[in-house]
Amino acid sequence: MTELEARELRYFIAVAEELNFSRAAQRLGMAQPPLSKTIAQMESRLGVRLLERTTRQVRLTPAGHVLLDQARIAVDAVHAAARRTRRAGQPTPQLVVAVKPGGDAGLLREILAAYREKDPHLPPPEVVFGGSGEPIAMLRDGRADVALLRSPFDGQGLDSETLLVEPRLAVLPAAHRLAGRRRLRLSDLRGEPIPRWKGAAPSTIAYCTGCDGATAGDGQKSADAPEGPLVASVEQLLEVVALGQGVAFLSLSTTKRHQRPDIAYRPVTDLSPSAVMVAWPETSRSPAVAAFVQAAHDVAAHHPDQLTAMAH
């Protein structure tokens, strides 16, 4: 019998993330010997080594890396099932919508209005705001039913639909040597430090630094940019840029919300765009979620193509 319990998966995640049995046991609030025994039993039942142990370090095997990825998904699914079940049993149902402030490109207010007009018997929407990476985490762990997200994100276990695609602009100090140019190419910004978002996945880092497949002016892929300061919000990013500590890239709608005399925004012709998407769990059968997605689609259909507008 090779089935794994949620408790065992939680134990393995702690060990895999800490790569230290003592720290993992402390994190789990348990003694180390039963933790070590549980991991050994998992390896025995699965018939594979999950961890390479020496007196000096603990490392994940290839099988361990696979289990870590799958265990996170499984544990999130268990938590999400419990949360959604409790919320479904509440006397007054609600539709929880997760979004990062400014991450809706100005669509949210119209979407909520269109949703309310669809059916007066639909549960009322409750909007919850989260920082970078939080809306998709809330969607995965059951705190939210639907989310408005910016690409890129890990869509495993989710369904999604693109609502709006808009260009990204370079964010420069007003006194920067390139601030007087009408348009830029990525090659113009080569060597400039670019702020990093705290906790960002590698794919997000590549996107935020312009290294996600766009090409520089010489036809070569843009080189990895030097690391700038860590930031956790658009406001922090703008302060870093204004102080001359780096340059950055932001969506057109975000730049319109943050006009400052010490910041210059310039189009970048070969920079990948930003897509606003509506996402929901692929297992969802909620009529309220379906109505929200349809409302989002209807609203987006009446908004102009921002990429075409910028090209002219």
Burial class, 22, CB count within 10 angstroms (exposed 0-12 / middle 13-18 / buried 19+): exposed
Mean pLDDT, the chain, rounded, equals: 88
Mean pLDDT of all residues in 254-259:
94
Specify the pLDDT at position 283.
Answer: 86
Q: Longest Cα pair distance anywhere in the chain, in angstroms? A: 68
CA distance 4 to 225: 42
User: Count of alpha carbons within 13 Å of 97, Cβ hemisphere only?
Assistant: 26
CA distance 231 to 198: 6
DSSP 89: T
Residue type (1 letter), 281: P
- pLDDT tens for 193-244 read 999 988 777 888 889 999 886 444 443 344 467 889 999 889 999 999 999 9
Mean pLDDT of all residues in 126-151:
91
Specify the pLDDT at position 164.
Answer: 94
Delineate the domains of the chain, giving CATH numbers in brackets: 6-85 (1.10.10.10), 93-165+274-304 (3.40.190.10), 168-267 (3.40.190.10)
Res. 305 pLDDT band, cuts 50 70 90 = low
CA distance 198 to 133: 9
Give, for 206, the enclosing helix (H) or strand (E): helix 202-208
pLDDT above 90 for 262: yes
Specify the pLDDT at position 224.
Answer: 62
CA end-to-end span of the chain: 64
Specify the pLDDT at position 232.
Answer: 87
Specify the pLDDT at position 214.
Answer: 46
Compare 94 and 39 and report the one with higher pLDDT. 39
CA distance 3 to 64: 16
What is the chain's length? 312
Res. 147 pLDDT band, cuts 50 70 90 = very high
Residue type (1 letter), 116: R
- pLDDT tens for 158-189 read 999 999 999 999 999 999 999 999 999 999 99
Specify the pLDDT at position 46.
Answer: 93
- pLDDT tens for 63-121 read 999 999 899 888 888 888 887 787 777 777 889 999 999 899 999 999 999 999 998 88
- The pTM for the full model equals 0.74
Res. 303 pLDDT band, cuts 50 70 90 = confident
